Structure 1
Amino acid sequence: VLLPVAVLGVSHLPKGLGSSRDSYVKVYLLPKFVEPQRTAVRRKSLHPEFREQFQFGHYRLEELRGFTLRFAVYAKDFRSLRDSFIGEVMFPCAQATWCPEAASSYTRELSTTKTKLKKSTTLGQLFLLLQYQALANRIKVLVRKAENLGRLTRVPGAPDHYVVIQLYCDGRVIDSKETKSIAGSSPVWNAPFLFSIPAGDIQDQQLCLEFTVMQARLYLRSCALGRVLIGPHAPQAGLLHWQEMCSRGPVESARWHVIQP
């Protein structure tokens, strides 16, 4: 799947030394760290219109939902070698309306805090399937696979990885399970688990699933690479996956999740 992204325009840019600014926008797809794409420079305007379209791809639709688009606005400074950063928008692709026949548009306020992009912070992605079995009062979890897992040490060779899944209720662990250990940076587990939950409406319970990706080496202690949280109070993709699971009933819900430190 190709991901087309259009930058329509920016409004109410802060004034520079004069009454207008020359500006452009850089578009990043994270955490892939592909080369950013940028618009042309729009001159002498505090409300520049760009109306330029870019494409990122090819990726699976489930993979795209785990990405984040970063739009960074810069002012062109012809007197120095470096352009000045004005602001940015971080847009999780999980928040987009995915309809192949129609485009969807969004307006976001610029943040003046610049995100530091470091490749070393990319820990990889985890592909999970969830199913809410209401009649049985349980959640089915399938830990499918991971991709592009980071390395915690410089020891040569491919490390093993396994995933520890913990179910929280009211802030305490009520069940814990783990996958078997698989070698490589893109392991495939295909490991299903069943978690029993208290009887009652799942929407009224303080539940949370935590997936901790562990990295192990022979003769070395296992270390936590990162984690994924899914629940009613989880951030971004974790919240959306939980809501999707609760609303779909017996239908499985599958998503990619970016592993967080």
Structure 2
Amino acid sequence: MPSTHQPNPLPTNTTHNVSFSWTPPITTTIPTTLPIVTNTTINPIVAVADTFINNLLDKIPLPRWAIYTIFVAGALLILICCLCICIKCCCKGKKKKRQKKDENINMKGVNGKTTMALVQPDAADVDYGSTKKQRGRLLYSLEYNGALAELIVGIKKADSLMAMDLGGSSDPYVKVYILPEKSKTCETKVFRNTLNPIFNEQFQFQISKSSLLKSTAVMKVFDFNRFSKHDIIGELRVQLCQVDWNHVIEEWQDLAEPAKFEEEDLGEICFSLRYVPTAGKLTVVILEAKNLKGMDMGGASDPYVKVQLALDKKKWKKRKTSIKKKTLNPYYNESFTFDVSFEQIQRVNLVVSVWDHDAVTRNDAMGKIFLGCDATGNQLRHWADMLSNPRRPVAQWHSLLSAEQVNSSLTLKKKIPLPF
């Protein structure tokens, strides 16, 4: 019987080979998990900061894009500020270098004998004590009529006047009087915002031939200011004894620095005017005065103000303020209303005078001013401003003149006119 041969079964160690073949997948998974573990533990501070910032942004009741926009705008603002500071510092450094360079240049002009080249005055001190200050020039004319004993002073025009206002211009006018009497003072009209005004005005002064040769014609150019003292630009003084009176004199002259030796400052007064044509009411409010002349032994005064109306150069109506004791800068703020028709207002002059009250002796006149149809210069300007602005008060400061000057110009009569 034939023998049957069966194949030997697989050795047991083959099973171990099969089971060993499953180990590689186990080893390959180890490196994939290691980086994950190490990445979460390398920067813990960054993770905490991110978490803190996110929590902080979540608490702000704004969308993220708005928050980012605010941050960017703030950063730009800080950057711009830093740049401005840097630029300013650089400019200061350059300025100091230029100053040092200029000083070095000026040092080269020193020759050991004088230090004149080292004197560099400031801009505010350039004209101090200098007679070469450019104040402009004035065209005037002089004519004398021997038959009438009359001197005619013409103020034609001015050119290249010195600017006195902040805007680089002036409001010029000219004041004319004759020394030494100074019995009459005339003023031209005020021209606004110009350094080259054309006046074309003439003024007459009664003076004899003998007095003419001892007199001086003074023409002062001022800058008009409504609420402060008028600034003087310059002046001309013409010795009349040196003039050839055989013909009319007309010439240009440069304005000089004003002299103050003959000026008597009587102070200033501020008042407002208001006229209502429909009601025929003229209201004068005496506001205040300042720098008045001391009339009493102690150097003070007891001033009050008299307000008077003259119609057709005849005394008409008058009122007066209360008395302020022992002061040179009184404050009144007192109002007076007069009935003046529209027809009368064109023939009325207003006289405002300041007096020193004395209980025993006669009251002394301290200063005077008049406005109206016969006034000139600043007084006429104030009166015209009142008429051109009905129902609106117009206030202005005025320099007081002596009573003699005002009386000679106005020549009032004592007769009171009949009522209309």
TM-score band by shorter chain is: 0.5 to 0.7
- Partner of residue 226, structure 1: 367
Find the partner of 1:181 among 318, 323, 336. Answer: 323
**Following superposition of structure 1 onto structure 2, how do residues 3-152 of structure 1 map, counting pairs within 5 Å?**
38=130, 40=132, 95-97=190-192, 103-107=193-197, 112-113=237-238, 117-118=260-261, 121-152=264-295
Question: Of 304, 313, 316, which residue of structure 2 is paired with 1:171?
Answer: 313
Which has the larger strand fraction? 1
Q: Report if the CA contact (8 A) 2:173-2:190 is conserved.
A: no
Q: Measure the CA separation in 2 of the matches of 1:93 and 1:38.
A: 28
Question: Matched residues in 2 for 1:107 and 1:68: separation?
Answer: 8
User: Per-residue CA shift, 1:16-71, capped at 9, x if unaligned?
Assistant: xxxxxxxxxxxxxxxxxxx98756379xxxxxxx97967689xxxxxx98x9788x
**Structure 1, residues 1-21: CA drift from partner, whole Å, max 9, x if none?**
xxxxxxxxxxxxxxxxxxxxx
The aligned counterpart of 1:206 is 347
- In the TM superposition, what is the alpha-carbon distance from 1:91 to its structure 2 partner? 11
The Cα of 1:236 is off from its aligned counterpart by 1.2
Q: Deviations over 1:55-103 (max 9, x none)?
A: 689xxxxxx98x9788xxxxxxxxxxxxxxxxxxx99797141xxxxx5
Q: Give 1:106 shift.
A: 2.3
Per-residue CA shift, 1:178-207, capped at 9, x if unaligned?
A: 00011311100101000111x34456x310
CA distance in 1, matches of 2:380, 2:128: 28
Q: What is the alpha-carbon root mean square deviation over aligned residues?
A: 3.8
Structure 1 segments unaligned to the other structure (5+ residues): 1-34, 43-49, 58-63, 71-89, 98-102
After superposition, the C-alpha distances for 1:148-168 in whole angstroms (9 at most, x for unaligned) are 011245x01521100111111
Higher relative contact order (CA 8 A, sep 6+): 1
Letter in 2 for 1:251: R
- Identical residues among aligned pairs (%): 21
Deviations for 1:117-168, whole angstroms, at most 9, x for unmatched residues? 3366110011010001111112000000001011245x01521100111111
Change (3 A) 1:146 1:36: farther
SS at match of 2:357: strand
> Secondary structure of the residue that 2:382 maps to in structure 1?
helix
Instruction: Indicate how the Cα distance of structure 1 residues 56 and 92 shifts in structure 2: closer, same or farther if over 3 A, else same.
Output: farther
Q: Give the whole-Å Cα distance in 2 for the aligned partners of 1:166 and 1:91.
A: 21
Larger % of helix: which? 2
Q: Which amino acid aligns with 2:190?
A: Q
5 Å-filtered alignment, 1:234-253, equals 234-253=375-394
120 and 156 in structure 1: CA distance in 2 versus 1, 3 angstrom threshold? farther
Note if contact 2:268-2:290 (Cα within 8 Å) is conserved in structure 1: yes
Distance 1:245 1:202, change over 3 A: farther
Query: In 2, Cα distance between the equivalents of 1:176 and 1:140?
Result: 13
Which structure would you say has the larger Rg? 2
Gaps of at least 5 residues in structure 2 are 1-126, 135-158, 176-184, 200-218, 220-235, 240-257, 403-420
Corresponding pairs, count: 186
- Deviation at residue 248 of structure 1 after TM alignment: 0.2
Offset at 1:238?
A: 1.1
Does the CA-based 8 Å contact 2:307-2:319 persist in structure 1?
yes
Tell me the secondary structure at the aligned position of residue 238 of structure 1: helix
Q: State the secondary structure of the residue aligned to 2:362.
A: strand
